[in-house]
Structure 1
Amino acid sequence: MKPMRKLVWMLCASLLLSAQALLAQTREITGKVTDSKDGSALSGATIYVQGTNRTTKSSPDGSFSVTAPTTAKTLLISFIGYKNQVINIGSGNVLVKMEQDVSVAEDVVVTGYKNRSKREFAGSAGTVKGDAIRATPIASFDQALQGQTPGLILRATSGQPGNSGSAIIRGRGSING
């Protein structure tokens, strides 16, 4: 009876150890996404672990962290207005320097769920060029859009710094935010 009990304990111990080894087959990949020209952080870049369904977005300082299986070899990083990059996963931090894509031939409309070319987009969309925003002396982002987009009314709810305002798109009976 004792040899059988010893065999059962050894079998249980080996199962627990193998389960621990199976759980350890993922790793944490960290890094930072920046512009290749000026080194500024790119917030909102999408990082895909190729061959899996794992994705993440870069934070406002450009940093990211994603859990990936140890079998994963590459990351695909994309950001609107920049060329996609495929990076080999090594040990340590990943530094991604994105190059601007100056060959974009047509306008892209960014919706809440998918990027579409302007030709495929059936809705109404307003465009504000970056040059128009840079040329306007503003204190906040909502001031940059005020008067630039038809049908968009922006109101400050208070004069306190950091308080959010309200946005009314195409009248009060439409989308309110």
Structure 2
Amino acid sequence: MQKNLLFYEKVNKRFILFLALVCFSGVLFAQNKTITGKVVTNESDSSLEGVTVKVKGSATSTMTGKDGSFSISAPANATLVISSVGFLSQEVAVKNQSNIIVKLATDQQSLQQVVVVGYGTVKRKDVTGAISSVTAAQIAKVPVTTLDQALQGRAAGVQVINNDAS
């Protein structure tokens, strides 16, 4: 009878130890924390909507809301990569912070580019749709006789039609 009691005490201690390890292993492996923040412009501190916030070296990403705020789960020592069209990308080290404010500077070079749209031109900063670029170097590589032949197949979703009357 005493042997059985000793056996159950050993099993009971092992079971409690196993149960404690299982319970605390979740805490050990769950080192991610929720990081909140806001993305604003460098010039006027106005909030930026639709900015991509990504954990560097990971597939985890999110986008900012209308007020420029975001929330993402990342390790305490992670680096966030913040990027948006028309702004310079920025890397921010989290360093155990739970709330981050990021100021993005405008990319003056990309906003000054001129985009040809149908029969007119628009500055890149004013375009809200998708843009495809075909450079002169790409056109020069193709041995064709007309411009429409050179553009054919160079930009996804573009249908080139020659309406030449001759």
- How many residue pairs get matched? 120
2:53/2:61 contact within 8 Å kept: yes
Change (3 A) 1:22 1:3: same
Q: Deviations over 1:42-69 (max 9, x none)?
A: 0000001101110000000000000113
- Quote the Cα distance in structure 1 between the aligned partners of 2:63 and 2:114: 25
1:95 Cα deviation from its structure 2 partner: 0.6
Mapped pair 1:66 → 2:72: yes
Letter in 2 for 1:85: Q
Change (3 A) 1:66 1:100: same
Mapped pair 1:97 → 2:103: yes
Mapped pair 1:80 → 2:95: no
List alignment gaps of at least 5 residues for structure 2: 1-6, 116-123, 135-153, 160-166
Instruction: Tell me which residue corresponds to 2:156.
Output: 122
Letter in 1 for 2:133: K
TM-score by length of 1: 0.59
1:106/1:118 contact within 8 Å kept: no
Change (3 A) 1:47 1:106: farther
Bigger helix share: 2
Question: What RMSD in Å do the two structures reach over aligned CA positions?
Answer: 2.4
Letter in 1 for 2:70: F
Q: Percent identity?
A: 32
1:106/1:117 contact within 8 Å kept: no
Instruction: Name the structure, 1 or 2, with higher relative contact order (CA <8 Å, separation 6+).
Output: 2
Instruction: Tell me which residue corresponds to 1:9.
Output: 15
